[in-house]
């Protein structure tokens, strides 16, 4: 029976309103999911977290580091994927240079970043052992699926198994482990995160040899089954020692006064005269420090910050070169220095050994740069990494044209130290900028740069090579590699400029601007200010007044000048804080 026209209109309106509510509900759910990013255990859970390894051992902060290294060591086996490329391609197509096995690596890292971005808030609000176990089980499932794919000669199933399934496990396990370790050491986050991520580089070093031994000792399906089983057992042991720190272990918010500044201003009265000469009031500073002013940054505010996205671009520029090289180094060595060159010969160092050594430098960079950033500061250290990579990319084409094998490898390994260092310090960098409660979420989203670098960078690299080869180029032609290194150099320079403009600390983000200020930037620890000085009279006499031309005034502040301006600002904030607090007290 047909409805009347008015009734049809009414039902249409109800349906439309229902659709709008569903859309608002979905958006609200997503917003809520990315808003609450703090693990809040019950009293019973806090008591349980005092013990590890099935409740048999008392939890100690140092236990998290070796456990994190062991887990990341197993996940780092993905970096030794290039050892499988030739044998898998030969199995699939009888040609070790064709078959697309290297695409699996790009898919895995691409899925890693996307998974980390999606699961970041859930990881932050969950127990790290829970998310860690889920990650390792999924990672193992990916290995089993890959073994089945190789047994049935299905490259698409290999992409799904290792690329998609193992990539999901890799994304969950990577973020949950590193962030859990770094939270135990709030005063040395760079060192703690660097030590945990060091295991990832160590996995590349060890599994290059392990993978080759498995390939030589058995068939490919059995190699993946054995590799996955070994990783599963080791990670299952390591995850039993991962617990979150107790409540209150990390600072509540981001302190606006550094601990060293508090100590200098509160326990060093002999400094009072020097402070007063700079126009600072130690009494106000003491009161302010006692109030412990902190800034709370929500995840939404962090992700809307221009500083986050500038750091995102800088991180992308830091990792793209070595991500491409890691998966293609055997091919490059063979084409330029080995059997693929115009006059075939054995390279001075086997490709798999070069990959293993590269893993060692990757591992060394992660812990060494993380430690360095605790002393030099995150931003200064990151600028050094990008500057070094830019110099390396300038000299690599020269080493190729001069046929300098060892010079080429030395440059590659230097860039690899910088690459590992970026991964080692980025969790601490984010925690310093946006608070420890946002670390997993911010870290997860910034790892999508890993996806872009691995998929985008890998595809661009391969497309340029294939373009030259399809137009008569040879595998030993250095031009195709030089073109790739040039676009990577341009990206590294862009990343360096973006990093310059990152306001890495609360002081940089809240430092008061002067009238006519058009730029403020911190360069290697000191503030550079540029002001546009408008036309002003040369004389107070209007009859004799002439106009100056517009010009720029540049100031490179000393530490004392910057400190004086900052403490004046904090004193004003302390007054505002007290005025807001007094009505509530009464």
Structure token digits, residue 549: 């031309």
In degrees and rounded to multiples of 5, residue 57 shows phi and psi of -125, 145
The distance between the two most distant Cα atoms of the chain, rounded to a whole number of Å, is 97
* Mean pLDDT score of the chain: 80
Beta bridge partners of 556: 528
The rounded distance, in Å, linking the Cα atoms of 244 and 182 is 10
The rounded distance, in Å, linking the Cα atoms of 168 and 163 is 8
Structure token digits, residue 310: 């500038």
Mean pLDDT of 44-59: 88
Predicted local confidence at residue 552, as pLDDT: 74
Decide: helix, strand or coil at residue 273.
helix
Q: Which of 115, 88, 118 is nearest to 103 (CA)?
A: 88
Whether 278 shows a pLDDT value over 90: the answer reads no
Mean pLDDT of 513-536: 75
Q: Which of 355, 436, 368 is nearest to 187 (CA)?
A: 436
Residue 577 pLDDT level (bands cut at 50, 70, 90): low
> Hey, what's the torsion of the CAs at 367, 370, 371, 373, to 10 degrees?
160
Whether 81 shows a pLDDT value over 50: the answer reads yes
Q: Which of 425, 176, 433 is nearest to 302 (CA)?
A: 433
**Position with higher pLDDT, 554 vs 252:** 554
Burial class of residue 494, CB neighbours in 10 A (0-12, 13-18, 19+): middle
Structure token digits, residue 522: 């911190």
Q: Which of 5-14, 128-137, 320-329, 484-493 has the lowest mean pLDDT?
A: 5-14
Predicted local confidence at residue 188, as pLDDT: 82
Q: Which residue has the tokens 């985008």?
A: 456
Whether 487 shows a pLDDT value over 90: the answer reads yes
Structure token digits, residue 325: 């090289």
The rounded distance, in Å, linking the Cα atoms of 160 and 158 is 5
Q: Which of 126, 128, 131 is nearest to 37 (CA)?
A: 126
The rounded distance, in Å, linking the Cα atoms of 456 and 379 is 26
Q: Which of 184, 167, 162, 208 is nearest to 65 (CA)?
A: 184
Predicted local confidence at residue 534, as pLDDT: 61
Residue 353's Cβ-side half-sphere holds a number of Cα atoms within 13 Å equal to: 4
Residue percentage of the chain with pLDDT more than 90: 26
Mean pLDDT of 293-315: 83
Predicted local confidence at residue 22, as pLDDT: 56
Whether 70 shows a pLDDT value over 90: the answer reads yes
Structure token digits, residue 199: 């295991």
Q: Identify the structural domains of the chain with CATH numbers, from first to last.
A: 52-247+297-506 (1.20.1250.20), 511-537+545-585 (no CATH)
**Cβ atoms within 10 Å, residue 367:** 25
Predicted local confidence at residue 266, as pLDDT: 39
Predicted local confidence at residue 384, as pLDDT: 94
**Cβ atoms within 10 Å, residue 261:** 17
In degrees and rounded to multiples of 5, residue 551 shows phi and psi of -150, 165
Predicted local confidence at residue 15, as pLDDT: 58
Mean pLDDT of 137-164: 94
Q: Which of 218-227, 232-241, 297-306 has the lowest mean pLDDT?
A: 297-306
Mean pLDDT of 167-185: 89
Contact 52, 216 (CB under 8 A): no
Contact 112, 451 (CB under 8 A): yes
**Position with higher pLDDT, 251 vs 380:** 380
């Amino acid at each position: 029976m047909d409805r009347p026209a008015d009734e049809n209109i009414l039902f249409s309106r109800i349906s439309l309103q229902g659709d709008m509510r569903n859309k608002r509900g979905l958006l609200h759910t997503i917003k809520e999911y990315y808003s609450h990013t703090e693990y809040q255990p019950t009293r019973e859970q806090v008591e349980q977290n005092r013990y590890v390894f099935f409740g048999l051992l008392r939890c100690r902060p140092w236990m998290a580091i070796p456990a994190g290294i062991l887990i990341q060591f197993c996940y780092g086996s993905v970096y030794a994927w290039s050892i499988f490329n030739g044998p898998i391609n030969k199995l699939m197509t009888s040609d070790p240079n064709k078959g697309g096995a290297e695409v699996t690596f790009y898919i895995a890292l691409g899925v890693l970043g996307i998974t980390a971005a999606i699961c970041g808030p859930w990881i932050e609000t969950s127990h790290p052992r829970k998310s860690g176990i889920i990650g390792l089980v999924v990672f193992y499932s990916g290995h089993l699926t890959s073994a089945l794919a190789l047994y049935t000669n299905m490259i698409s199933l290999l992409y799904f198994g290792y690329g998609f399934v193992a990539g999901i496990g890799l994304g969950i396990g990577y973020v949950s482990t590193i962030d859990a370790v770094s939270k135990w050491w709030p005063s040395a986050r760079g060192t703690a995160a660097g030590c945990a991520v060091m295991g990832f580089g160590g996995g590349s070093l060890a599994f290059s040899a392990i993978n080759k031994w498995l390939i030589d000792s058995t068939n490919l399906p059995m190699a993946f089954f054995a590799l996955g089983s070994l990783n599963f057992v080791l990670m299952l042991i390591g995850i039993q020692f991962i617990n979150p720190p107790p409540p209150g272990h990390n600072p509540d918010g981001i302190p606006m006064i550094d601990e060293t500044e508090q100590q200098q201003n509160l326990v060093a009265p002999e400094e009072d005269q020097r402070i007063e000469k700079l126009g600072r009031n130690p009494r106000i500073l003491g009161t302010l420090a006692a109030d412990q002013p902190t800034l709370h940054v929500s995840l939404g505010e962090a992700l809307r910050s221009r500083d986050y996205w500038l750091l995102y671009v800088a991180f992308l520029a830091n990792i793209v070169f070595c991500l491409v090289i890691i998966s293609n180094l055997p091919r490059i060595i063979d084409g330029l220095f080995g059997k693929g060159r115009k006059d075939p010969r054995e390279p001075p160092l086997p490709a798999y050994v070069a990959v293993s050594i590269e893993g060692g430098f990757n591992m060394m960079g992660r812990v060494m740069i993380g430690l360095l950033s605790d002393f030099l500061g995150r931003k200064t250290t990151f600028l050094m990494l990008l500057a070094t990579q830019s110099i390396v990319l300038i000299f690599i084409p020269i080493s190729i044209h001069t046929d300098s094998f060892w010079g080429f490898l030395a440059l590659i390994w230097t860039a690899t130290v910088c690459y590992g260092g970026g991964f080692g310090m980025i969790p601490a960098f984010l925690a310093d900028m946006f608070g420890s409660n946002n670390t997993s979420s911010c870290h997860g989203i910034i790892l999508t740069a890993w996806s872009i670098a691995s998929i985008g960078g890998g595809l661009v690299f391969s497309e340029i090579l294939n373009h030259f080869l399809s137009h008569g180029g040879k595998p030993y032609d250095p031009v195709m590699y030089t073109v790739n290194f040039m676009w990577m150099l341009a990206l590294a320079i862009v990343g360096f400029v973006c990093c310059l403009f990152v306001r890495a600390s609360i002081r940089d983000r809240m430092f008061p601007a002067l009238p006519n200020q058009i730029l403020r930037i911190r360069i290697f620890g000191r503030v550079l200010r540029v002001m546009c000085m408008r036309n002003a009279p040369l004389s107070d006499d209007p009859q004799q007044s002439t106009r100056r031309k517009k010009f720029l005034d540049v100031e490179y502040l000393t530490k004392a000048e910057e400190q004086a301006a900052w403490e004046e600002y904090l004193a004003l904030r302390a007054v505002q804080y007290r005025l807001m607090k007094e009505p509530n007290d009464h």
